[in-house]
Structure 1
């Protein structure tokens, strides 16, 4: 099975982020503009959290807060799990499933080098399965 670096090679290393003092409204605007479901929160050059659509729904909407009056720091998830480019796709799937989250920042030598999502992982698994099926079909046809 592939590794995180294979996903990053395919999708690129773009990391969309905001500061913890921006409003939730601004963060949602960025997420909408970039068509993504989560943002890394960066303060003084360091990752201090992650903010996702799930945080928005559970920590803002359900608690009756206003997105224009609430800062990201009040809602972001601060316990962020990360992976490296050499982490296997299988390990990512297990971590995402066990911990129930959909975004994984990728760090290498203490530097943030990308973010992968569950859809990136699923796409990789599907592509790998297609490749295996094609090889098996070729093998069977060659018999």
Structure 2
């Protein structure tokens, strides 16, 4: 199975990010442009939150303000779970399942963002690893 470093290397090099003072409308446009379901919210290069489709769907209606007026900071999730490069895929999946979120930032030891993984990235890699294992076992059995 691949490491987190290998998974991140397979993803696009450009991260989809937004600033906390940018509008929700701008965030939705960036999400559509990058075809992603969540954006890292960075301020001064540091991770300060994450903004997801779920944040928009669950919080914007209660906000009763226009998306063109509402800053991302009003809807983003400020408490962000993250992992380092040494985390296993199983640990990532367990954390995402337990905490019920679908996007997980990966940070280095200095707190710099290295990338973001989706539950889809992890499931895809798990299926790929299982297919490889099945193929190898079939070869072994067949002799």
TM over 0.5: yes
Cα 1:140–1:47 change in 2 (3 A) is: same
Q: Once the 2 structures are TM-superposed, how far is the Cα of residue 13 of structure 1 from its aligned partner?
A: 4.4
Aligned pairs, number: 142
Structure-1-length-normalised TM-score: 0.93
1:140 aligns to what?
A: 141
Give a deviation string over 1:17-69, Cα, whole Å, max 9, x none.
11111110010000000000000111122111000000000010354332111
Structure-2-length-normalised TM-score: 0.93
Q: Is the 8 A contact 1:105 1:116 kept in 2?
A: yes
2:60 aligns to what?
A: 60
Alignment of 1:97-136 (within 5 A): 97-110=97-110, 111-136=112-137
Unaligned 5+ runs, structure 2: none
Structure with the bigger RCO (C-alpha within 8 Å, sep 6+) is 1
Q: Is the 8 A contact 1:21 1:71 kept in 2?
A: yes
Secondary structure in 1 matching 2:47: strand
1:46 aligns to what?
A: 46
